[in-house]
Amino acid sequence: MPQSPVAIDSKLPWVGTTIFTVMSKLAAECGAINLSQGFPDFQADRSLFDAVHQAMLDGRNQYAPMTGLPELRQAIAAKVQALYGTAYDAESEITVTAGATQALFTAIAAFAGPGDEVIVFAPVYDSYVPAIETVGAKAIYANLRYPDYKPDWNEVRALITPRTRMIIVNTPHNPTGSLLDAADLEALAELTRDTNIVVLGDEVYEHICFEGEHQSLARHPELAARSLIVSSFGKTYHITGWKIGYCYGAAALMAEFRKVHQFNVFTVHAPSQVGLAAFMADHSRHLQLAEFYRQKRDFFRQQLAGTKFELLPSRGTYFQLARYDAISDLPDTEFAQWLTREVGVAVIPVSVFYPDGRDDKVVRFCFAKQESTLAAAGEKLRGI
C-alpha cells in the first residue's frame, strides 16, 4: 500500500471512528441485536418508493435547483406553518440538504470561524463539535442536568461572551430524550436579545414528542428571527439512508447558509425530492409519528420491567436511557462492550457524549425497531 510522504497537521487530531460505527461493527461481529445506532429495522411506506421510482421514469433525473425543488420547499413551508404558525418563504427561506448533518455543518461553517465561540449542551451529539473545530471556532459546553437533562439558563448566561457567535439547541434531544419547553424558549430569547448570536436548532425528532406539542424555535417569533432550524426526512419517514433533510430560517440567515451549501453539496437527489413532495401531502404521516413511537417506547419499557436497569424518562426521540449500576460497576464503554459480546444486545455508552467522559453508568437503547426485535432484545436483557 502507498505510504504518504505528506506531513499532516490534523484539524481534528482527537477524532477517531464514531461510537455508532464502532458499536454497529461490534454488533455485526458478535451477531448481537443492534439497539445502538439510531436507524429503523423496518421499511417506509411503499407508496414513497413508488413515487420516487415514477419520478425516475418520468425523467426527473438531472440536477435539482441548488436550494431544492420548488414543490418540496413549498410542501415544507406549508407543514411548518401548519404546525408552528410561522410563515417561511419557500423561495428565500428554505433549503433542501443532504441530510441533517450536512445542514448542521453548513450552518456552523456559514456563521462561525476563527476566534468565535459556539455554545453546545452536554451530553452533546457527536457531529457538532468536530464541525465547530473544523472551521476554527471553539465549542463552549453548558450542561444538561442529570437526571432530567434540563438546561440551566443561568449557566448559559455566564458562558456568553462577546465572542459567542452561535448557540446550538437540540430538541427533542439525542441522546437523552429530553425536551425544551416554552419557558426554555423564552429564557433563550431573553439571553440572546440585543446580541448578534445565531441560534441553530437541531429538531430532527420534531415529530416524536410524547408530552404535548414540540416546542420548535419557529413557534417563538423572536427566536425564529435569529434561528436556523434543521429537520430530517430520514427520521420522519424511516429512510435514514437517503440522507435528505432541510434547513429553514430568516432570509438574511438563509442567504449566508446557501453560500456554503452551494459549494459543499450544491444539490440533493432529484427523484427523491419529487417523491417526498408528493408523500408530504398526507399530513397524517408525520402527525401520527409520535403515537407510532410511543407504542414502541412503551413496549420496550415493558420488556425491561423487572430487570435491574433503571429506566430514565424518554419524553421524545426514539431513544431510551437506562442506568445499569445495579448490574455492574464497569465504566459505561466497557459495559456496552460486555453487553454486546456476552448478552447479545448492542447499546451506546452515554459518556461518549461528554467532553470529559463523564460516566453516570447510563447507556442508550434505540427502540426504532420491529416489536419482534425489541422482544428478542428484551428476552436477552431479562436474563442478566
Span 217-259, pLDDT tens digits: 999 999 999 999 999 999 999 999 999 999 999 999 999 999 9
Cα–Cα–Cα angle for 377, 382, 384, nearest 5°?
105
Would you say residue 328 has pLDDT above 90?
Answer: yes
Confidence of residue 16 (pLDDT cuts 50, 70, 90): confident
Q: For residues 215 and 37, which has the higher predicted lDDT (pLDDT)?
A: 215
Average per-residue pLDDT for the chain: 97
Would you say residue 17 has pLDDT above 90?
Answer: no
Contact 220, 193 (CB under 8 A): no
Classify domain 46-283 by CATH number: 3.40.640.10
Would you say residue 18 has pLDDT above 90?
Answer: no
**Cα distance between residue 137 and residue 121, in whole Å:** 16
* Residue 260, SS3 per DSSP: helix
Confidence of residue 310 (pLDDT cuts 50, 70, 90): very high
Would you say residue 14 has pLDDT above 90?
Answer: no
**Cα distance between residue 167 and residue 174, in whole Å:** 16
Contact 276, 244 (CB under 8 A): yes
**Cα distance between residue 147 and residue 114, in whole Å:** 35
270 membership: H or E segment, kind and range: helix 270-279
Task: Please identify which residue in the block is written with the cell numbers 464503554.
Answer: 333
Would you say residue 52 has pLDDT above 90?
Answer: yes
**Cα distance between residue 298 and residue 292, in whole Å:** 10
Task: Please identify which residue in the block is written with the cell numbers 420516487.
Answer: 52
**Cα distance between residue 321 and residue 316, in whole Å:** 11
Average pLDDT of span 45-68:
98
Confidence of residue 312 (pLDDT cuts 50, 70, 90): very high
What are the E-state strand segments in the chain? 33-34, 94-97, 117-122, 138-145, 150-151, 164-170, 198-202, 227-232, 245-249, 310-311, 319-323, 345-346, 348-349, 362-366
**Cα distance between residue 53 and residue 196, in whole Å:** 45
**pLDDT tens for each residue of 162-209:** 999 999 999 999 999 999 999 999 999 999 999 999 999 999 999 999
Provide CATH 3.40.640.10 ranges for the chain: 46-283
The reported pTM is 0.97
Give the domain 19-44+287-382 fold.
Answer: Aspartate Aminotransferase, domain 1 (3.90.1150)
